[in-house]
Structure 1
Amino acid sequence: MTHSVAVPIIAATAPVYAHPGDAGADLVAAEAVRLEPGQRALIATGVRIALPDGYAAFVVPRSGLAARHGITVVNAPGTVDAGYRGEIKVTLLNTDSREAYDVAVGDRIAQLIVMPVVQARFEAVDVLPDSVRGEGGFGSTGYTQGKSE
Structure 2
Amino acid sequence: MLEIKVKLQEGVHQEFEFIEGKSNWIDLRTAERIKMNKGDFKLIPLGFALELPEGFEAHILPRSSTFKNYGIIQTNSMGIIDNAYSGNDDYWFFPAYALRDTIIEKGDRICQFRIVRQMEVVKVLFVNELQKQNRGGHGSTGVK
Aligned to 1:87: 91
Structure 2 unmatched runs, 5+: none
Structure 1 unmatched runs, 5+: none
Q: How many residues align?
A: 136
Distance 1:87 1:131 in 2: 45
Task: Report if aligned partners of 2:6, 2:49 keep a CA contact under 8 Å in 1.
Answer: yes
CA RMSD of aligned residues (A): 2.2
Q: Does 1:41 align with 2:39?
A: no
State the TM-score, normalized to the length of structure 2: 0.80
Structure with more of its chain in strand, by fraction: 2
Task: Report if aligned partners of 1:14, 1:47 keep a CA contact under 8 Å in 2.
Answer: no
The residue type paired with residue 44 of structure 1 is: P
Task: Report if aligned partners of 1:62, 1:72 keep a CA contact under 8 Å in 2.
Answer: no
Q: 1:141 to 1:95 in 2, by over 3 A?
A: farther
Task: Report if aligned partners of 1:59, 1:76 keep a CA contact under 8 Å in 2.
Answer: no
Distance 1:14 1:67 in 2: 23
Point out the more displaced range, 62-71 or 110-119. Answer: 62-71
Task: Report if aligned partners of 2:70, 2:104 keep a CA contact under 8 Å in 1.
Answer: no
What secondary structure does 2:65 align onto? Answer: helix
Aligned to 2:102: 101
What secondary structure does 2:84 align onto? Answer: coil
Identity %: 21
Task: Report if aligned partners of 1:33, 1:102 keep a CA contact under 8 Å in 2.
Answer: yes
What secondary structure does 2:42 align onto? Answer: strand
Distance 2:134 2:121 in 1: 21
The CA deviation string for residues 68-89 of structure 1, in whole angstroms up to 9 with x for no partner, is 4432211121001012121111
Residue 29 of structure 1 deviates from its aligned partner by 1.0
Match of 2:6 among 9, 32, 48: 9
The CA deviation string for residues 107-134 of structure 1, in whole angstroms up to 9 with x for no partner, is 1121111112223313232335233446
State the TM-score, normalized to the length of structure 1: 0.77
